[in-house]
Amino acid sequence: MNLYALTVADAMEKLATGDICSEDLTRSCLERIDQVEKNIKAFITLDRDGALEAAREADLARKRGNVGLLCGIPLSLKDLLCTRGMKTTCGSNILGNFIPPYDATVVEKLKSQGAVILGKVAMDEFAMGSTSESCAFGVPQNPWKKGYVAGGSSGGSAAAVSAGECLASLGSDTGGSIRQPASLCGIVGLKPTYGRVSRFGLVAFASSLDQVGPLCRDVTDCAIMMNAIGGYDRRDSTSVRVELPDFRSFLRGEVRGLRVGVPREYFVAGLDPEVERVVKEGIDFLQRAGAEVVEISLPHTEYCVAVYYLIAPAEASSNLARYDGVNFGMRDMKADTLMAMYKDTRSAGFGAEVKRRILIGTYALSSGYYDAYYKKASQVRTMILRDFQEAFKRCDVLVSPVTPTPAWKMGENSDDPLAVYLSDILTISANLAGIPGMSVPGGFSKEGLPIGIQLQGPHFREDTLLKVAFALEKGLEATRLPVIE
């Protein structure tokens, strides 16, 4: 069997028994990358030598009995997680040569558990997008179908995991950026509760919405990755001091008596009938397995896109003010005044979508418009949060589609940003409410494109999501790797 196709859990077992070593496993991923990367284009930076060295170190550490949770497991990282000594571009020219002098907390955790970092993977510029097409360094392709998007913004993570280029990856989710590409590429993605995972060293997009999470081949791997990255961090004051459970302990697949909520507003016009069929089949399966299905209403769902596209750009415009060419990142060296330097650096460094969002954000925050835009959006955000609080009095988990359609062709909607924004309608609310959300493979379209099922739960109830996801994975048998053309 090809080692690159192993799950994290299987690889851990084989490493533990001595059947395989990390160097062979890592070489297998690198060979797979050589074989498919010209089509998949997931990697921005590939650290071949560093990965092999880390693999050999992991093998030595294991011999000495020093076995971390992820000892010798080859992973990739979305290119907005700071990696000491390794380029971190955020998919943007403005950070094209940025080499961070420190590791993000989650990267530090992976390394201290013995993980092998293969490299950094593609994403929409500053995570602003739903297709990864705004990446300045190559656009990842959906491993299931040539010429189709891998989704975004963590498109490189999803493509790399699905194509067998790494065993698992970390991404980030501000409005669906883990769940949506996971769904489009047929893998598992989890956006944890806001505050569950440290954001220190995650390049900020919208600080009240961003959260780091895993993209994996199956639900068990997702639980393992959560065990590795979760927890309070003194360097992120919004991370929450709650007990960190053993996420693997929830993988029992027993859903009897669980109340499964089906949000009416997520099954409206525009939903592809094939997506609807797959999600309904998932709900039917849970019902047959003994779960109680409850119809739920989240009445303010239709406003979430408008709220999000004010709050996220507002926060982004403030966060991205730091890219001024002074301390780090690109600088226009021709400018002879400070103002010209700021202006020329930012004009040349940022792409169109980032500029669009900075303009919307500064406008929404400007005096005279603040109440009408930013404040109004923050108030409607409260109403969306209350919808969920009401819903979770009546159910334990919400089951819905992740995206209105399966993956689409590259280049579609490229001059209609609003059309792309509207495709985020089913994932955005979880970020506004700070609740955990997950995408688990549910089935396939007639064209053979994967379709995910979304699970959402109350704050810090990743346990319920993992339990239901595990049951769906076992029951629907829709989890598999693509054959790459």
Out of 28, 41, 78, 132, the active site residue is: 78
Cα 242 to chain centroid distance, Å, stands at 22
Question: Contact between 46 and another protein (CB under 8 A)?
Answer: no
Antiparallel, parallel or unpaired: β 450-456 and 437-444: antiparallel
Given the complex with another protein, which of 32 and 357 has the nearer CB atom? 357
Question: Contact between 99 and another protein (CB under 8 A)?
Answer: yes
Contact 437, 263 (CB under 8 A): no
Residues that bind another protein (rule: CB under 8 A) add up to a total of 62
Query: How far apart (Å, rounded) are the C-alpha atoms in residues 464 and 457?
Result: 7
> What are the respective helix, strand and coil percentages of the chain, to the nearest 5?
45, 15, 40
Query: How far apart (Å, rounded) are the C-alpha atoms in residues 301 and 114?
Result: 42
78 is catalytic: yes
Query: How far apart (Å, rounded) are the C-alpha atoms in residues 350 and 361?
Result: 15
Query: How far apart (Å, rounded) are the C-alpha atoms in residues 26 and 55?
Result: 7
Angle at 431 between CA 425 and CA 433, to 5 degrees: 105
Hey, what long-range contacts does 282-289 have (CB within 8 A, 24 or more apart)?
A: 282/399, 282/442, 282/443, 282/453, 282/472, 282/476, 283/399, 285/471, 285/472, 285/475, 285/476, 286/255, 286/258, 286/260, 286/399, 286/468, 286/471, 286/472, 286/475, 287/260, 289/255, 289/256, 289/471, 289/475
Which part of the chain contacts another protein (CB under 8 A), choosing from 23-31, 179-187, 285-293, 427-435?
Answer: 427-435
Query: How far apart (Å, rounded) are the C-alpha atoms in residues 423 and 416?
Result: 12
181: nearest Cα among 161, 203, 202: 161
Given the complex with another protein, which of 21 and 82 has the nearer CB atom? 82
Q: Scanning residues 341 to 370, which ones bind another protein (CB under 8 A)? A: 341, 352, 355-356, 359-360, 363
For residues 172 to 211, the per-residue mask of contacts with another protein, x marking binding by CB under 8 A and - elsewhere, is: ---------------------xxx------------x---
Could you write out the three-class secondary structure of 231-284?
CCCCCCCCCCCCCCCCHHHHCCCCCCCCEEEEEHHHCCCCCCHHHHHHHHHHHH
Residues facing residue 450 across a β-bridge: 444
For residues 372 to 411, the per-residue mask of contacts with another protein, x marking binding by CB under 8 A and - elsewhere, is: -x-xxxxxxxxx-x--------------------------
Which part of the chain contacts another protein (CB under 8 A), choosing from 9-17, 286-294, 328-336, 441-449?
Answer: 328-336
Between the CA of residue 125 and those of 89, 370, 427, what are the distances in Å?
A: 9, 26, 19
Question: Contact between 48 and another protein (CB under 8 A)?
Answer: no
Given the complex with another protein, which of 283 and 380 has the nearer CB atom? 380
Q: Scanning residues 428 to 467, which ones bind another protein (CB under 8 A)? A: 432-435, 459
- Nearest approach in angstroms of CB 378 to another protein is 3
Position among 267, 303, 370, 444 found at the interface with another protein (CB under 8 A):
303
Given the complex with another protein, which of 62 and 179 has the nearer CB atom? 179
Question: Contact between 330 and another protein (CB under 8 A)?
Answer: yes
Position among 331, 451, 466, 470 found at the interface with another protein (CB under 8 A):
331
182: nearest Cα among 235, 233, 143: 143
Out of 92, 177, 239, 423, the active site residue is: 177
- Nearest approach in angstroms of CB 336 to another protein is 6
Query: How far apart (Å, rounded) are the C-alpha atoms in residues 166 and 157?
Result: 9
H or E element, residue 416: none
Tokens, residue 155: 């498109």
- Nearest approach in angstroms of CB 327 to another protein is 6
Q: What are phi and psi of 404, to 5 degrees?
A: -65, -25
Out of 76, 132, 134, 153, the active site residue is: 153
Which part of the chain contacts another protein (CB under 8 A), choosing from 36-44, 163-171, 214-222, 414-422?
Answer: 414-422
Position among 325, 351, 404, 450 found at the interface with another protein (CB under 8 A):
325
- Nearest approach in angstroms of CB 472 to another protein is 26
- Nearest approach in angstroms of CB 158 to another protein is 25
- Nearest approach in angstroms of CB 379 to another protein is 4
Question: Contact between 293 and another protein (CB under 8 A)?
Answer: no
Residues designated as active site: 78, 153, 177
Which residues make up the interface to another protein (CB under 8 A)? 98-102, 193-195, 208, 234, 237-238, 240, 300, 302-303, 305-307, 309-310, 325-331, 333, 335-338, 340-341, 352, 355-356, 359-360, 363, 373, 375-383, 385, 415-418, 421, 432-435, 459
